[in-house]
Chains A and B, each alone.
Chain A
Amino acid sequence: MDLATIESIIRQHGGQKSALIAMLQDVQQQYTYLPKDVLQYLSRTLNVPLSRAYSLATFYRAFSLKPKGRHPISVCLGTACHVKGAVKILEKFERELGIKTGQTTPDLMFGLEQVRCLGCCGLAPVVTVGQDLYGKVTVSKVDQIIKRYQKQEAAHAKA
């Protein structure tokens, strides 16, 4: 745990107990998950029972107790995406990555999630990878999407 980072997150939210959700969001963004020691630290510092921090962490979908991939993949399963065959896209990702929805690849490169509507229904079916959004995705395009990030990382590693 990087104490300075956590302290600065607490400070940004004025050390308020009521801002615990917002702090957890920042922690999630920083670490891709909520590490146990961070939850403990927040609970002690804010004087909030650990059980409450844990209940928030498990109630809200944005939080994870396990590390997520460096490139989190979200397949939208909103209504418009559903009627346009998003389930098959999700299954293709599962097969290509060798993981189930909700899991992360062993090398922590990709995480796979389903999401309930990203609000880009006009471009259904939709997939996001980190900040990148892909519209009108087909089963055959799944490969290209994955390769793009693999190449990116390979190029990064070389440099």
Chain B
Amino acid sequence: MPYRVHCMVCAGTGCVSNRSLEVRDALENEIRKRGLQDEIQIVTTGCNGFCAVGPLMVVQPDGIFYQQVSAKDVPLLVEEHFIKGRPVQKLLYKPPEAAAPIPKMSDIPFFKHQRLIALRNRGLIDPEKIEDYIARDGYQALVKALTEMTPEQIIEVITKSGLRGRGGAGFPTGVKWQKVRQAKGEPKYIICNGDEGDPGAFMDRSIFESDPHSVIEGMLIGARAIGARYGVVYIRNEYPLALERIQIAIQQAREYGLLGENILDSGLDFDISVTRGAGAFVCGEETALIASVEGRLGDPRARPPYPAEYGLWGKPTCINNVETWANVPPIILHGWEWYSQIGTERSKGTKVFSLVGKVRNTGLVEVPMGITLRQLIYDIGGGIPGDKKFKAVQTGGPSGGCIPAGMMDQPIEYIAPDGKREARDYLDLPIDYESLTDVGSMMGSGGLVVMDEDTCMVDVARYFLAFTQDESCGACTPCREGTKLMLDILNRIVDGHGTMDDLRALEEIAWVVKQTSLCGLGKTAPNPVLTTLKYFRDEYLAHIEAHKCPAHVCRALNTYRIDPVICVERGHGCGVCRRECPEKAIFGEKNQPHRIDQTLCKKCGVCVEVCHFNAVIVE
């Protein structure tokens, strides 16, 4: 068990002369008295240069800096800080000038709600140095798995922890491992699915880039549990830096004998090779991925048999995604009891989300399952920039759906884990695998794209359909033809030529594609259309009946006009729009109002983008 708190007492000459060693002894006594010696480590450090306010003490990991500590302060300090978690104000270091204090990481909303497990080493270690990983308890879980646990016990811990596949579907990881362990056939394989194809999600890239050894260690533990001999890391072609770092990490692990034969003298033989994707979204689907590793076209096949029985080269194969593997070492090290305390009844632990789109703070956040959309978008994300209105959040990439904000004050019925039904706002919906599926979306790999009033939901549906249609491998008819038909209809609607019959046909085809496609790509491709039809039907109607795009995104339905007053008063007729207009449809002189010739305008919208003064009005 690693220490919860490190207490670093300065033992430089200055502090020692100020009796810092007495403080250390008092601390050690007090901590032993309260039975905290396994949780709190006392370390004496060299001089840290701030002798004027000694004796000094730094408490990690919160980075609390105490000054002029004396032995008689110690009982209060232990009681308040180490037991109750409240730093003792009167001993805190105060900067000499009364400048506005810099907030602590733990006070900043973006970081405050996060809890890092999969991303535990982010920003803290050099990903190209195995020693840095080892210093932060790296490969300790492997030692535990090799020396203290049987394969059955490892699987039991993973099963009881409640860990579920982080790639999207949420299949219980322990159950999968058990299936592969019991399957007949040798050798067995382990695959790390790093073909992170969902647009808007990049947690797997980040894990490879910032902590590649966590994936390797997870796979090693998996290998011990299921009895696998070989592992494959499949990594997306668009991630060159991630590829480089995982390759370096594998090489270092081999040099240290952490991959190869008889690892740590335990008798475990396991090695990992890397396969680079070649740019096909469908290869994120497990059977297509396996085909691609075998050097074939990335065509998915019908399941069963599942890869657990018939996988890579026809052998039992355990395939989990990057984030799932990165969660394995901490669970083994700290136990299933610890992990299963975090999260909701049905979804345990944390989930990494990439928070992007129309939100102030963009980035990767790791939060306990069960956090609400409101907390994610407003507390962590800082809300919507530019006083715009929040419209929807898209989860789960092309397989997911759009959850509307418009129903913020219209409660929906939510079925609680205990089966009790209660009314909730969407935004207050605790996020887990089931709750997202209940509202027609899905967890997917964890992309959260925030959309505001300037986002057109019909255009979003069309965008995803264009994506899936383009990426459809063509093996089965419903997906190949159905997505094409749906895309044609959506293109007609955004161009202003859609009819009500189109809308009915769109809905009907969507259900057929959903129910009859071969693999997950086709089965989920209609979700963006179905959820936008359900929650934003009025926007479809506006396009069809009024020939208007309420968000002014669908360019064929827009009219562009320059406000002459703003153009002259603020912009002095700067002429940037005139120069940039590809159709030469804008006329005007310096210091004079500019105007757009509507007969020449092709509605590309460049003038809006380039005008520094917001003088171009879209109607």
Contacts and interface: CB of A to CB of B under 8 A. Distances in A.
Question: Do A and B bind?
Answer: yes
Interface of A: 16-22, 24-25, 55-56, 59-63, 77-80, 82-85, 88, 91-92, 95, 115-124, 131, 138-140
B280 A139 contact: no
Q: Which 3 A-B residue pairs are closest in the complex by CB-CB distance?
A: A61-B279, A119-B202, A60-B278
Contacts of B205: 119
Interface of B: 196-202, 205, 237-240, 275-281, 292, 294-298, 354, 356-358, 362-363, 394, 397, 447, 449, 451, 455, 460, 463-464, 467, 471, 473, 576, 580, 582, 604-606, 609-610
Contacts, number: 127
Question: Among B205, B295, B460, which residue has the most Cβ atoms of chain A within 10 A?
Answer: B295
* Interface SS, A side: helix
Given A62-B279, A121-B357, 8 more contacts: A25-B276, A79-B200, A83-B449, A91-B604, A118-B238, A121-B201, A121-B354, A122-B354
Contacts of A122: 354, 356, 362-363
Contacts of A123: 362
Contact of A92 (B275, B451, B464, B606): B606
A126 B260 CA distance: 40
Nearest to A117: B199
Contact of B200 (A17, A55, A78): A78
Contacts of B576: 140
A6 B363 CA distance: 42
Given A56-B297, A59-B280, A78-B199, A21 B292 contact: yes
A61 B278 contact: yes
A20 B278 CA distance: 11
B372 to A, nearest CB: 22
Contacts of B610: 139-140
Contacts of B455: 83
Nearest to B394: A79
Contacts of B471: 116
A16 B273 CA distance: 14
A18 B580 contact: no
Given A59-B298, A116-B197, A88 B605 contact: yes
Given A79-B447, A83-B455, A122-B363, A21 B357 contact: no
Nearest to B203: A119
Contact of B449 (A80, A91, A139): A80
A71 B237 CA distance: 18
Nearest to A55: B297
A59 B297 contact: yes
Nearest to A95: B582
A119 B278 contact: no
A36 B280 CA distance: 22
A117 B593 CA distance: 40
Question: Among B238, B358, B460, B580, which residue has the most Cβ atoms of chain A within 10 A?
Answer: B238
